[in-house]
C-alpha cells in the first residue's frame, strides 16, 4: 500500500509524447513545481496540458512553454504569460479557453465517471460553437464533456504513505478535482506523516485516487504580482 517514491525520474519516465496531463494550482499558488521541473527535464513533447492557467514566463507551466513541450493548452486564464501569447499568435500553440467554473466541473465530472453534462455558461458565445444545445424548462444549455488526463499532477501540504492528501488554505484550489481526474495521479507534498496521524475529517483527497507520493524540499515563495503602496 505504500505509495511514496524517492525520486520523480521513474514516475515521469512513464509519460510519453502526446500525453494529456491535468495540473493543479491557481496562478503560482498550489502548483506542483517539482513535478513540472522534472517533466521539463525529461523533455517529453506534444503534450496537452489542462490547468487553470499556464504559469508565468519563468515559473510553473511556463517552463514547459519555454521548452516548447506543450502542443495544446486547455485553460481558463492565460493573461500573465507573454510567451504563451507569442506561441498562440504564431500558431505554435493550440488553445482551448474554458470558463473557470466549467473547467472545474469538467474535471470533477471526469473524475466521477460522468462523460458529459449541460451548463448555461457560454451559451451565445464563442464557447458554444460546435457544441450540442438543449433546452431544459425553457432555457438553453450547452453540453460540455468531462476531462480525464493520462496523468494528474497535484501539490498537497500533507500526505500519509497511503496517499491521503491535505491541502492548505487557498492552495487547495483546483487540486482536489485534478487529483480525481487522472488515470495516474502523482502528488507532490511538503510533509509526509505516519499512517493514522491525519484526522479522517481533515482529509481532502482520499488515497484511492493517488498512485504516487513524492516529498519535495526547498520550496521558494514566488509572488506572481507585487503591489506596494506609497509610504
CATH number of 195's domain? 3.40.1080.10
Q: How far apart are CA 168 and CA 79, in angstroms?
A: 25
pLDDT at 107: 98
H or E element that contains 36: helix 33-42
Q: Quick one: which H or E segment has residue 125? A: none
Query: Is 122 part of any domain?
Result: no
DSSP state of 6: S
Give the H/E segment covering residue 164.
none
- Total structural domains in the chain? 1
Residue 132 in any domain: the answer is: no
Contacts (Cβ under 8 Å, ≥6 apart) of 13:
42
In a domain, 112, yes or no: yes
| Domain with 75 in it | 4-116+148-215
Quote the pTM value: 0.94
* Site of grid cell 482536489: 176
Query: pLDDT tens string for the chain (231 positions)?
Result: 689 999 998 889 999 999 999 999 999 999 999 999 999 999 999 999 999 999 988 899 999 999 999 999 999 998 778 899 999 999 999 999 999 999 999 999 999 999 999 999 999 999 999 999 999 999 999 999 999 999 999 999 999 999 999 999 999 999 999 999 999 999 999 999 999 999 999 999 999 999 999 999 988 877 777 788 887
Confirm whether 222 is domain-assigned: no
pLDDT of residue 80: 78
Quickly count helices (H) and strands (E) in the chain: 6, 12
Give CA–CA dist 47/154, Å, rounded.
17
Amino acid at each position: 500500500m505504500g505509495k511514496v517514491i524517492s525520486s520523480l525520474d521513474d514516475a515521469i519516465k512513464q509519460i510519453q509524447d502526446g500525453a494529456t496531463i491535468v495540473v493543479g494550482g491557481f496562478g503560482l499558488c498550489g502548483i506542483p513545481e517539482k513535478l513540472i521541473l522534472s517533466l521539463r527535464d525529461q523533455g517529453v513533447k506534444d503534450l496537452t496540458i489542462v490547468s487553470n492557467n499556464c504559469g508565468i514566463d519563468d515559473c510553473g507551466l511556463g517552463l514547459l512553454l519555454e521548452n516548447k513541450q506543450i502542443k495544446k493548452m486547455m485553460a481558463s486564464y492565460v493573461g500573465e504569460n507573454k510567451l504563451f501569447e507569442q506561441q498562440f499568435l504564431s500558431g505554435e500553440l493550440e488553445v482551448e479557453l474554458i470558463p473557470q467554473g466549467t473547467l472545474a466541473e469538467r474535471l470533477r465530472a471526469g473524475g466521477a465517471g460522468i462523460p458529459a453534462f449541460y451548463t448555461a455558461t457560454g451559451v451565445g458565445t464563442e464557447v458554444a460553437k460546435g457544441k450540442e444545445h438543449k433546452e431544459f424548462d425553457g432555457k438553453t444549455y450547452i453540453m460540455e464533456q468531462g476531462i480525464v488526463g493520462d496523468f494528474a499532477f497535484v501539490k498537497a501540504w500533507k500526505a500519509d504513505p497511503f496517499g491521503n492528501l491535505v491541502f492548505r488554505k487557498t492552495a487547495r484550489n483546483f487540486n482536489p478535482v485534478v487529483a480525481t481526474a487522472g488515470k495516474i495521479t502523482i502528488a507532490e507534498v511538503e510533509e509526509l506523516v505516519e499512517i493514522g496521524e491525519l484526522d479522517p475529517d481533515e482529509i481532502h483527497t482520499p488515497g484511492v485516487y493517488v498512485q504516487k507520493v513524492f516529498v519535495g524540499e526547498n520550496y521558494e515563495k514566488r509572488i506572481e504580482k507585487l503591489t506596494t503602496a506609497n509610504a
